[in-house]
Amino acid sequence: MNQPIQTPSDANNDSADPQARHPQALVESDQIGRATRIRAFAHVLAGAVLGEQVTVGDHVLVDGGVRVGDRVSIAAGARLLGRLQVEDDVAVGSNATLSGPEGSGSAVTRIRRSAKIGANAAILPGLTVGECAVVGPGAVVTRDVPPNAVVEGNPARIVGYVDTPNVPITAPLAAARHSDALPTLRVAGAALYRLPKLVDLRGALSFGEVGTHLPFQPKRFFVVYDVPGKEVRGEHAHKELHQFLVCLKGSCRVVVDNGTVRDEVVLDTPEIGLHIPPMVWGIQYMYTEDALMLVLASDVYQAGDYIRDYGDYIAAVKS
């Protein structure tokens, strides 16, 4: 992770296509990769690095501290400023502004592989937009964007995740009849459990028993509450730990991800539990103000059991 983009080996040599640069483009850099096309009135400053098969649109400004990978598309009017690293296969929309820190220092702004930045969006200095993330048009990104997240607004907030089905997985579970079958998740091992509900004049009660409703013996519990709606929790996997999530009040969206597919569930009733097994990446977001989440865990807290970086998680899954 955090590896710098390499300088193109054939930068500005005789094998580069001279027709790829519009005669009214101003290209001061000598580090331009093969088959990179630069349109009219674009300005690429000295020191900038552009990889292979990059498209630079009309009136684009690329600052001298910018390093761009291969197959990147930069639409008309975009501005890439400061110390900025744009990885392979990124798409930058028209008039977007991607700002890296100015001056000397080690801090950079990073746009990870295959991310998409919408038209008129702004990325503030020093942030990271994760792999395959999508920044909506006009969004103002003021904090890091996790991998695969979709963000919108000013300031930008997570509104969903890429390639995560929303029907029927995210249908409100509280609206389902108790006899309805629960959806089967695509993420192997993760599962929804129906918990019994008893109602009388004294109120309602839901419960779970080990072996019948709980797929493991809990050794720990914790409760999550008072989470501001803008915040995202989880964003990690466990090597050995099982978790069982029950939203006792309010609602919360939970994403489970095995590195190949993702599912999203709206937990909005104490009658439903979600089992997250080891080596499944979990995310919770869009907590309502009154949300109260109970989490049962199969072991006591062990810091070494966590995988907190999504890139490390994907590498562990592949290995």
CA end-to-end distance (rounded Å), the chain: 16
What is the Cα Rg of the chain in Å? 24
What are the residue ranges spanned by the domains of the chain?
18-161, 173-318
Tens-place pLDDT, residues 30-47:
999 999 999 999 999 999
Residue 122: is its pLDDT beyond 50? yes
pLDDT at 6: 53
- Identify the bridge partners of residue 292 per DSSP, sorted by sequence position: 225, 249
ω before 218 within 30° of 0 (cis)? no
Please tell me if the domain spanning 18-161 has the same topology as the one spanning 173-318: no
Torsion over CA: 284, 188, 314, 90 (sign): negative
- Comparing 280 with 102, the larger pLDDT belongs to 280
Confidence of residue 78 (pLDDT cuts 50, 70, 90): very high
Architecture of domain 173-318: Sandwich (2.60)
Question: Regarding the domain delimited by 18-161, which CATH topology (the fold level of the hierarchy) does it fall under?
Answer: UDP N-Acetylglucosamine Acyltransferase; domain 1 (2.160.10)
Tens-place pLDDT, residues 200-221:
888 989 899 998 889 999 999 9
Mean pLDDT, residues 48-57 taken together: 96
- H/E element holding 74? strand 73-74
For residue 175, the one-letter residue type is: A
Active-site residues, by number, are: 236
pLDDT at 106: 80
Q: Cα separation of 298 and 296, whole Å?
A: 7
| Averaged pLDDT of the chain | 90
